[in-house]
Every structure is written in C-alpha cells, then in structure tokens.
A = this chain, B = another copy of it.
Amino acid sequence: MDRPLRLISTNPLDRLARTLEALLVVAGQPLTPEDLAVAADDDLERVETALGLLSERYREGRSGIVLERVAGGYAFRAARDAALACERLFERPVQRGLSQAALETLSIVAYLGPCSRPDIARVRGVSADSAVAGLVERGLIGEAGREDGAGGAVRYRTTPLFERVFGLESLSELPRLDDLGDGADEIRDRLHAVADQRTA
C-alpha cells in the first residue's frame, strides 16, 4: 500500500532535493547552483532541476519558508505573510531608517561601481563621510581596495547583502541609468499642458 510513497522518497532527485534543503537551511548567505552542486557532489543540471522542485515546494502562500532567487544565488527566507510576526521578534538593523543621504550614496556606489568618498562627494555636492560610514556599518557597502593602487583614497562597492536587502537577483536588475531621465521631459510636458490650455 505504501509502495508508491516509498518509491518517491527514495527517488534520487528527491534525495538531492533534501540535501539542498539541508545546505540552504544552514548557509549564512545565498548559495549559487554551482556552490550547491559542489557541496552536494552532484551535477549542475540535476541541481537546477531539484531547485525547481524546491522553489515550487517553498513558495509564497504554500509554506512559511520561501526559497528565493537573490544576490546571484538561492536562499531561504520567511514568507511575506509572516512579516508581522517576524517584526515582533527580530530587529532590522540593516534597512531601518536609511536616510536620503544614505540612499543617494548607495545609488552612487551601486551605479558607478567602486568609488571613493571624494567621488561620491563630487556627485552629491556634500561630504559623504558619515553616510559612507553608516552604510559600511550596516554592511551594505564594503571596501574594495584603494585608488591608484596603494596610498589613494579607499574605494567602496556594494555587498551581496545590499542585493539581498533590496531583493535584487543582481545589480543588473537595477533600472539602467539612461532610463532614469533627468525629469526634464516631464516638466516640459506639464508646461506644454498649461500652454495648450491657454491657447484653447
């Protein structure tokens, strides 16, 4: 009677999926399919298939544990409908109270790639020191060597945690800089609207 069940439970792909569950629940950060294949000592294609199974099993609305694709890999997180419960228990030191200055600094580092405090100050027009220090402390940006090799100003880049907090699969998911118009078109349109009203 329980034959079919047993068959399923000893299915090698299911075994692999269980191994992946185990790896994902102990990992401190997202794991790439390659990481998982190496650790599970299995081939990449099968790992991808098993990840497909797990994504289905651990999805919003079905499970309290959700498997998400983020920061270049896969990671477990809490289901969105448990957010309120999570808020009662856990601090959110990373994202709480990010100031406008911090967000601007973060955008500059995310878009311009490794850049120094003087680079950031040049774009923002004001010193970036405290914003940078705050972002480093939160772990959203980290050091990436110095300008001109040694001796120059320290450069910063965004961390995988940044992608995780903002729910990005990778930095390339950010809107392209070219698509962030300078707003001139919108202003022009509004002015034209007024002008049209006038002649009407």
- Out of B19, B77, B100, name the residue touching A26 (CB < 8 Å): B77
Q: Which of A119-127, A170-178, A181-189 contacts B (4 or more CB under 8 A)?
A: A119-127
**Residues of B with C-beta under 8 A to A81:** 18-19
Determine if B77 and A41 form an interchain contact, defined as CB atoms under 8 angstroms apart.
Answer: no
8 contacts between A and B (CB under 8 A): A18-B81, A19-B81, A22-B82, A23-B82, A25-B77, A100-B145, A127-B133, A127-B136
Determine if A198 and B65 form an interchain contact, defined as CB atoms under 8 angstroms apart.
Answer: no
Which secondary structure dominates chain A's binding surface? helix
Determine if A23 and B153 form an interchain contact, defined as CB atoms under 8 angstroms apart.
Answer: no
- Out of B23, B79, B89, name the residue touching A27 (CB < 8 Å): B89
Given A25-B64, A99-B143, A154-B126 in contact, is the A85-B40 Cβ separation under 8 Å?
Answer: yes
Nearest CB of chain B from residue A96's CB, rounded to whole Å: 15
A33 in contact (CB, < 8 A): no
Given A18-B79, A64-B18, A126-B154 in contact, is the A39-B143 Cβ separation under 8 Å?
Answer: no
Determine if A129 and B125 form an interchain contact, defined as CB atoms under 8 angstroms apart.
Answer: no
Nearest CB of chain B from residue A10's CB, rounded to whole Å: 11
A49 in contact (CB, < 8 A): no
